[in-house]
Amino acid sequence: MSDVNHYKCPLCGAPINYVPGTDVLSCDYCGTNVQVSSLTQASEEKSFNWKSDSGSAKTDGQPEREYVCKSCGASIESFEDSFTTACPYCGNNVVVSDETTGGSRPNLIIPFGLKADEIRQRISDYLKKLKLLPNGFSAAAKAGELKGIYVPFWLFECTADGSISLHAQKESSVTRSFRIESSSTSAPGARQGNTRQETVRKISHYRLEREGRFEFSKLPVDASTHFDDEAMDVLEPYDYGKLIEFDTAYFTGYLAEKFNTSYENETSRGFAKVREGILDYFKNAESGYSSLTVEKDDMKIEIDNVQYAMLPVYALNFSFKGENHRIYANGQTGKVTADLPVDAGKSWKYSILTFLPVFALAFAICMFI
């Protein structure tokens, strides 16, 4: 059996949990606070060999590791991709020590900054703004299970040389007034001596060539197939100024998963983010144009360094009308994202109410013509 680390209250022996936004672990039973620094093991392994552990995710859902709880002696089962677990008998928090050393050990961590009740309020406020949700959906979400999870990320440092060709357009219009003089070529029905206005639209076309050298730091790509890539991207940005050296003490009270896809496998996603960032920079740097279209681009990207980090994410899981739903929230900033259903009836009514004033105005104009 593999070895485990336990975090218990030094006074009463109850489990202690990390308090978001602080540097302490607190006992829910006697209120004792313990500094994270006092729990750090000076002898923790510092070597990294990520290439040696880039297997695929397990899909059978069966526990694959067994441990012994040092508090009560019970057998604990855990999953291959998990850093943390808890004893189902005494509730003691467990961090799998052989998974947080050597090749699986992260470099950095952003500790949770918001508590669970704060996230529930953020999610509630988020759902209140969505007028097309089915009736009862928000109530189902409120009753859902909220879990804090440390999600593994690769943080890329890249250097890129990029060039781009843009097709740009400028639009302008000029309104001219002229009198209609008597002429055999006058338009039928035109009144002689009246003034007529004509608007001329002018479109100018340009080709722009731009190039530059760019440096990217802390470019995040999630390193677990268990989480939706698009959702993890939407939760960005994190405040990377709050990154600190990894310490297992921050895992207490939370779930944590190790990477199951190597940074080599995620390089294409990292490069796609670099390319998107460069294109956005060039587009935003140009002003005065009505439209910009990329005709051609050339990017040469090099990876300078990769760091393995754990970033805080809350996941709210619940069921609504027989379907499972999940809402994610950034555990540091509180940003919320979700793929939510739309009530067809509400959508139809909203469309009618939106366009009704337009129809009424058009009808009124027709009545006076």
Residue 140: pLDDT band with limits 50, 70, 90: very high
3-state SS class at 73: coil
Name the percent of the chain lying above pLDDT 70. Answer: 71
Mean pLDDT of 284-294: 87
The answer to whether residue 275 scores a pLDDT higher than 60 is: yes
Determine the pLDDT at residue 201: 84
Determine the pLDDT at residue 79: 62
Q: Does an H or E element contain 229, and which? A: helix 229-234
Determine the pLDDT at residue 200: 82
8 Å CB contact between 76 and 88:
yes
Residue 53: pLDDT band with limits 50, 70, 90: very low
- Going from N- to C-terminal start, the domains of the chain cover 4-161+211-344, 169-206
CA distance 328 to 73: 35
The length of the chain is 369
The closest of 113, 39, 133 to 347, measured between CA atoms, is 133
Determine the pLDDT at residue 7: 78
Determine the pLDDT at residue 47: 38
Radius of gyration of the chain (CA): 30
* Residue 344, C-beta contacts closer than 8 angstroms, at least 6 positions apart: none
- pLDDT higher for 190 or 345? 345
The answer to whether residue 158 scores a pLDDT higher than 70 is: yes
Determine the pLDDT at residue 353: 56
Determine the pLDDT at residue 123: 97
Name the percent of the chain lying above pLDDT 90. Answer: 47
The token pair that represents 241 in the structure block: 């100024």
The answer to whether residue 367 scores a pLDDT higher than 90 is: no
Q: What is the greatest pairwise CA distance in the chain?
A: 108
pLDDT digit string (tens) for 296-341?
A: 989 999 999 999 999 999 999 999 999 999 999 999 999 999 989 8
The angle formed by the CA atoms of residues 336, 341 and 344, to the nearest 5 degrees, is 140
Determine the pLDDT at residue 45: 41
DSSP E strands in the chain: the ranges are 4-6, 16-18, 24-27, 33-35, 65-68, 75-78, 84-86, 93-96, 108-109, 145-179, 195-222, 244-245, 255-256, 291-320, 323-330, 336-338
pTM of the model: 0.77
pLDDT digit string (tens) for 221-257?
A: 999 999 999 999 999 999 999 999 999 899 988 989 8
